[in-house]
Amino acid sequence: MTRQMTTEMQQCIDMCHKCHDMCERMLSHCMEKRSDEAMQMSMVMISCADMCRMCADMMMRCSSMAKASADMVQMCVRMCGMCADMCDMTAEMCRRMESREMAELADMMNQCASMCRQMSPQAMQSA
């Protein structure tokens, strides 16, 4: 038996997926620039995309357990915090690229970071 996922958790998972997808799409934008900064940005974006995907996966697994242990829920919360930190760091780098597309990605990453930071044991457990 699986438990009900909270709305906040589902929204955070959806945002992590969107952020992952947009990072993957924007990789070509960075690689076209062919500068050292753009190549470094590409590596950071790959890491951010991976972190967002892993965070979403972990939240889905945690929500699918009928009785997720307190340790597992706490680990999920910590993963969300690390994802938020990665998104904020990547967003800051995106803004330095000074392009409209990268600014849009930075906005999405900041929104993802904000949602991830709202994940607490209470936000992950339905009533």
Residue listed under structure tokens 């590596």: 43
> What would the pLDDT profile of 44-99 be if each residue is shown by its tens digit?
999 999 999 999 999 988 877 656 678 888 899 999 999 999 999 999 999 988 88
Instruction: Assign 3-class secondary structure to the chain.
Output: CCCCCCHHHHHHHHHHHHHHHHHHHHHHHHHHHCCHHHHHHHHHHHHHHHHHHHHHHHHHHHHHCCCCCHHHHHHHHHHHHHHHHHHHHHHHHHHHCCCHHHHHHHHHHHHHHHHHHCCCHHHHCCC
- Comparing 38-42, 48-52, 53-57, 122-126, which segment has the lowest mean pLDDT? 122-126
Are 94 and 102 contacting, i.e. CB atoms less than 8 angstroms apart?
yes
Burial category of 89 from C-beta neighbours within 10 Å (exposed 0-12, middle 13-18, buried 19 and up): middle
**Stated pTM of the model:** 0.88
Note the pLDDT of residue 41. Answer: 87
Beta-carbon count within 10 A of 19 CB? 31
Secondary-structure class of domain 7-118 per CATH: mainly alpha
> Which has more confidence, 28 or 1?
28
pLDDT category of residue 126 using cuts at 50, 70 and 90 = low
Residue ranges of domains in the chain: 7-118
Average pLDDT over residues 8-37: 88
Whole-angstrom Cα distance, residue 59 to residue 12?
Answer: 9
| C-alpha closest to that of 48 among 91, 12, 8 | 91
Note the pLDDT of residue 39. Answer: 83
User: Among residues of the chain, what percentage have pLDDT more than 70?
Assistant: 91
